[in-house]
Structure 1
Amino acid sequence: MSEWRNWSGSVVARPAEILRPTTEEELSRHVAQANKVRVVGAGHSFMPLCETDGLLLNLDALEGSIEIAPDGLSGWAPAGWSLARLTRALWDKGYSLPNQGDVNPQSLAGAISTGTHGTGAELGSLATFARAFRLVLADGSVVQCSRTERPELFEAQRLSLGLLGVVTRIEVDLVPAFHLQERLSVRPLAEIAAEWEELAVRHRHVEFWVFPYSDRAILKTLDICAPAPEPKTASDMSEGIFKFYCELAAAMPRLTPRLQHILMRLIGKSSRSGPAYSVFPSERSTRFEEMEYELPRAAGFAALNEVTEWIRRKRLPVSFPFEYRLVAADDIWLSPFNKGPGASVSMHQYAKMPWREIFAEAETIFRSHGGRPHWAKRHTLTAADVSALYPMADRFLTVRQQVDPAGKFANTHLTALFGIDPPAPQL
């Protein structure tokens, strides 16, 4: 039996077998023969989405290439490619994705299937970029779905958590390749909050990080700029200094507030420009656990302020800053942004420091403000919560039952999360 761990090291799976098929025919055969199947990308999910004691598939070696549509507005791409590989390959052909997050090791299918996103008031999650899917179903058959071809399957597949099948190719929205200028500055959080609506209109992308014991925040903006060479740095901030701070906080938790004030004094203005695919992501090598809640945009700052005040009141050793971003509304059945424009608040903790109890308590604050969690990041939702928070969940589960009645793609976590009934015994 093999062992697999996620990026942070907190999720451990012991699948019966780990395979990296190279052809769709080989993949279909393995899926048809297996009793249980999950697919893994870079392991950036903090929830046990990839955990299985059955077959664990990695699709990064699956044959395939990018095919650009004649109108240049979309293209078919291998689902198992990492965003790093995909966006570089698109750039070489003169195209970019409309948006990206701040890391890029994830697979395209993994990012879309969990609703991963970047920031931008008018930009949706990566799931909104998907136009069509090619996937292997539980019986090994290969189907394609879009708004006009098997539309119910397409709507469910747009954010599916891997419950419907194994995706091999995805048609995604594209835009002409563009360059970005990134600017970082440190400003009082109150000042950022007062100008937030204006900042969101003025910049294509805007976000900030704020440590729970600081009243100043790191503001980051990204805007389209004139062509520029590859940036000399691969990160928006120094990972070395930050990791040293995290080690100190882990060794001396009571010093966390003081260390955050010292760290903020070391951060100044910075700027870098270059191709979008190389400026969007930053190096993130310091291991952490993460919980992220997507809130109604009007409730974002209130939720952030309440959770920060709670941390200060209890003197909790939360070492990482909160990350605050904007995401546009969508109409995807299981998307946390399907009720309107969202404010995304990410809460992190250094992997060597306690996080479970802190996250669980903070989650009650985010839920009280109408928040719904990122599916791949730490949360404690139950099947009853999913039903209450997602009116279209029943429709999704109906499609799931149709294409995978035996629950081949449902692991222990997902079975409990969606209240999936085991198949009836064969008589």
Structure 2
Amino acid sequence: MGERWRNWSGSVEARPQRITRPRTDAELADIVRTARKLRVVGAGHSFMPLCETDGALVSLSELEGGVDISADRTRAWAPAGWSLAKLTAALWEEGLSLVNQGDVNPQALAGAISTGTHGTGAKLGSLSTAARGFQLMQADGAVLTCSASERPELFEAQRLSLGLLGVATRIEIDVLPAYHLEERLESHPLDVVAERWDELVANNRHVEFFVFPYGEQAILKTLNPAPGEGPLKQLNDMDDRAFRMVCDLCAAAPFLTRRLQPLIVRPGVRQRRVGPAYQIFPSERSVRFEEMEYEIPMANGWAALREAIAYIRARKLPITFPFEFRTIAGDDIWLSPFNRGPCISISAHQYAKMPWRDFFAGLEPIFRAHGGRPHWAKRHTLTREDVDALYPQAARFRAVRAAHDPEAKFANAHLASLFVES
């Protein structure tokens, strides 16, 4: 057996035959041609076994190449294996920013796009919606390009592909002139946030909140473009050292969870900072967790959250992490959970050192009952039948997959169960 690999949270483990980090396209092509099975790995931030394989596990972080900006400076070709941290820093040096980002940035660009990773914003889609073209290495090592005008069927499937159509080596993405963001963090009673929610969504480019299941106060976070105010002095939105201590204490004595949580978020929190967008969007999340996230039709988001909180309280479950509540615009991507229209994204977390499986098993039917569809990289139990029921274009995606990888070289057991014809 080869080197052991684990994902970020430690819940997914594999022993691939080999882990490789090719430096050139020729080296990558040789690996792809000769591999029996192959998956590409970024930062391992998927909680589902997307990177699990007993074949070759390939990181593209060291692959040659740089950023090429279009003449009108609205698009850029970027290495698919670069982390979002590396990419956004390079774009900033060129006077450019991504249209949107999520709240962490170690993920590889290809991994974020191929799973539908997103940030916040009622008028802003997932990172997949920013993709305009792909250079894709096929199972035989050949490279082809796809876009809306070149191999359009492949492009539509590749926009959110879960890595099933080949190895993306370069991706063309939308960019904007570099901008700064003002971040405001404020604590408010959850009921007050609920009353103001429509107003908050309408008046802010980005708005989200965090609420602990046993807390009454929510941390409201807004981001809006603003003039720069010099170097960013505070690099993280919140200091999580005290939170880590609370999590460890609750792991040792779970009954304390309900007592300690109301003390974490106190009334009167007011915090502000301004900085380059690529530094304000992400935050360091050093307390490791397991996560389930469901994308729920906009009209059903609050009911789903209230029911999930009631479920936890009724059973006195020791859940140490907060729920995260965000807005995301709709899109037209075949496998996107946002392709039916704008959504509320509800993320449920649990400390990685504490039990989480039964907790998620109880929440998932609640989210599903409210019309939710899961983030592909977060914990879920979708079956092939579920995929067909939730995604009308699933058969079309499978047909494109079969045409470009008939031997299913790029599928592992989990993905084959959903997308490979038996």
Q: TM-score higher than 0.5 here? A: yes
Alignment match, 1:375: 376
**Alpha-carbon separation, structure 2, partners of 1:118 and 1:180:** 14
The offset of 1:265, in angstroms, is 2.5
Instruction: Indicate yes or no: 2:421 matched with 1:421.
Output: yes
**Alpha-carbon separation, structure 2, partners of 1:266 and 1:201:** 24
**Alpha-carbon separation, structure 2, partners of 1:104 and 1:266:** 30
**Alpha-carbon separation, structure 2, partners of 1:175 and 1:128:** 14
Alignment match, 2:79: 78
Q: 1:421 is aligned with what amino acid?
A: E
Instruction: Indicate yes or no: 2:156 matched with 1:155.
Output: yes
Q: Secondary structure at the match of 1:86?
A: helix
Q: 1:353 is aligned with what amino acid?
A: M
Aligned residues of 1:334 and 1:393 also touching (Cα < 8 A): yes
Alignment match, 1:38: 39
Q: Output one character per residue of 1:289-330: Cα deviation in whole Å (capped at 9) or x when no partner.
A: 000000001100000000101110110111100000000000
**Alpha-carbon separation, structure 1, partners of 2:228 and 2:385:** 50
Alignment match, 2:175: 174
Q: Secondary structure at the match of 1:18?
A: strand
Instruction: Indicate yes or no: 2:330 matched with 1:329.
Output: yes
Q: Sequence identity of aligned pairs in percent?
A: 62
Q: Secondary structure at the match of 2:291?
A: strand
Q: 1:348 is aligned with what amino acid?
A: H
Q: 1:193 is aligned with what amino acid?
A: A
Aligned residues of 1:134 and 1:170 also touching (Cα < 8 A): yes
Q: Secondary structure at the match of 1:265?
A: coil
Q: Output one character per residue of 1:107-145: Cα deviation in whole Å (capped at 9) or x when no partner.
A: 000000000000001000000000000010111110000
With normalisation by structure 2, the TM-score equals 0.99
With normalisation by structure 1, the TM-score equals 0.97
Alignment match, 2:61: 60
Aligned residues of 1:230 and 1:278 also touching (Cα < 8 A): no
Q: 2:247 is aligned with what amino acid?
A: C
Map 1:311-390 to 2 at 5 A.
311-390=312-391
The offset of 1:26, in angstroms, is 1.2
The size of the alignment, in residue pairs, is: 421
The offset of 1:215, in angstroms, is 1.7
**Alpha-carbon separation, structure 1, partners of 2:17 and 2:311:** 44
**Alpha-carbon separation, structure 1, partners of 2:230 and 2:43:** 28
**Alpha-carbon separation, structure 1, partners of 2:154 and 2:24:** 23
The offset of 1:169, in angstroms, is 0.2
Aligned residues of 1:135 and 1:165 also touching (Cα < 8 A): yes
Aligned Cα root-mean-square deviation (Å): 0.9
**Alpha-carbon separation, structure 2, partners of 1:247 and 1:281:** 24
Q: Secondary structure at the match of 2:170?
A: strand
Alignment match, 1:233: 234
**Alpha-carbon separation, structure 2, partners of 1:230 and 1:309:** 43
Alignment match, 1:394: 395
Q: 1:264 is aligned with what amino acid?
A: V
Alignment match, 1:425: none
Q: Output one character per residue of 1:177-198: Cα deviation in whole Å (capped at 9) or x when no partner.
A: 0000100000011111111111
Q: 1:255 is aligned with what amino acid?
A: L
**Alpha-carbon separation, structure 2, partners of 1:217 and 1:265:** 9
Q: 1:305 is aligned with what amino acid?
A: R
Aligned residues of 1:290 and 1:349 also touching (Cα < 8 A): yes
The offset of 1:236, in angstroms, is 1.0
**Alpha-carbon separation, structure 2, partners of 1:161 and 1:342:** 21
**Alpha-carbon separation, structure 1, partners of 2:244 and 2:303:** 30
**Alpha-carbon separation, structure 1, partners of 2:231 and 2:361:** 41
Where structure 2 has 5 or more consecutive residues not aligned to the other structure, the ranges are none
**Alpha-carbon separation, structure 1, partners of 2:61 and 2:330:** 31
**Alpha-carbon separation, structure 2, partners of 1:103 and 1:314:** 31
Q: 1:54 is aligned with what amino acid?
A: G
Aligned residues of 2:331 and 2:338 also touching (Cα < 8 A): yes
Runs of 4+ in 1 over 6 A off after TM superposition: none
Aligned residues of 1:228 and 1:275 also touching (Cα < 8 A): no
Q: Secondary structure at the match of 1:234?
A: coil
Alignment match, 1:219: 220
Instruction: Indicate yes or no: 2:224 matched with 1:199.
Output: no
